[in-house]
Structure 1
Amino acid sequence: MRIATDRVGKVGSMIVDKMATFPCAQRGIVLLTGLIFLVVLTLLGTSALQGTLLEERMAGNLRDETMAFQAAEAALRSAEAFLQQAALPAFDGSGGLYHHVFAPVPDPVGWPEWETHGRLVEGIIDDVASQPRYVIEQLVSVPAMGSGGSAQQSGNSAHANLFRIISRGVGGTRSAVVLLQSTYQR
């Protein structure tokens, strides 16, 4: 029995001696290193997530702007088709038809009455917050150009009418607005 006790006692005393030396050598550096590593990983993950969210917002805004641009182009095409009619109505400031002297177009950028005074585009454009609209302003009459690029010198004095078309397209949200302008000769 005594041999067994000595072995246990020696083994027990070795364990106690080794454990008595560890607290002096270790001060928690592994725990501190692990915490610093976790903080660095958290910061990297957070910044990557913020970058991804920013890219998603930018892609959504670009999509809205593209939709608004396409809607404004559709309004320009619709206005040009309107001007190709044989007989045009009076340009008196009603129905989106203006005259540069008698009823000029208000500032199109800050004009709050696009919904009521702008002409609505024929047909429906999907996924836009508001259907595109346009206004047409009759400008001056100019002498019609001949075949060589010079004004015609004939006795009938043919004239061409100039029109300014301003179209407004809205994207998927009301904050994405595009205004386009073109000059049309008839």
Structure 2
Amino acid sequence: MGGTMIAEPSAETGCHWPVPPQDGYTVDDLFTLPDLPPHTELLDGSLVFVSPQRRFHSKMMQLLVNGLHATAPGSFSVEREMTVVLDRRNGPEPDISIVRAEALTGLDQTRFQAEDVVLAVEVVSPDSEARDHDTKPRKYAAAGIPYFWLVEMAEGDQHPVVRTYEIDPVSRTYALTGIHHDKLNVSVPYAIDIDITLEALKAL
């Protein structure tokens, strides 16, 4: 997810954000600070605000969500842009998550715990590239989320590319399991078969 890291409030911008605590914000702050922009994330105690997204980002999310819903068993739920609590100083918001159905508590739910999530998906934006490639997958793996997908727009014809990863339970790091250009066909966390060609994306 795209975003801009805000370390300190700025009087010049006219924004009046509270002064960050000495040790940074916590997940509790993320849900209690007034007037935070929608989809604000928390990484290492710092707030990350969402930047405007490319059409590729929203269309790719729609394409994947539609495909994931098509074969999702009743034991899983496909969720968009929901906070996942990794620890007290980290509450990222994956673009898409697959969570265990027993973790659902109602339509007013605002977060999931890391142990509820079986797959986290990030669609890379220009300003979030470093976080999506490094910071967030490291944190997802350390928290024990079994599967991770990284979605990017290829240079040239701008077709989608999906890299799939699976956790090594010993090292708590992700290992690449596939690079998908036209068809996303995997068997975990359940049987998934999605047309990710540029034509499918443009048809939305």
TM-score (ref. length: structure 1): 0.21
Structure number with bigger Rg: 1
TM-score (ref. length: structure 2): 0.20
Q: Which has the higher contact order (CA 8 A, sep 6+)?
A: 1
Structure that is richer in strand per residue = 2
Structure that is richer in helix per residue = 1
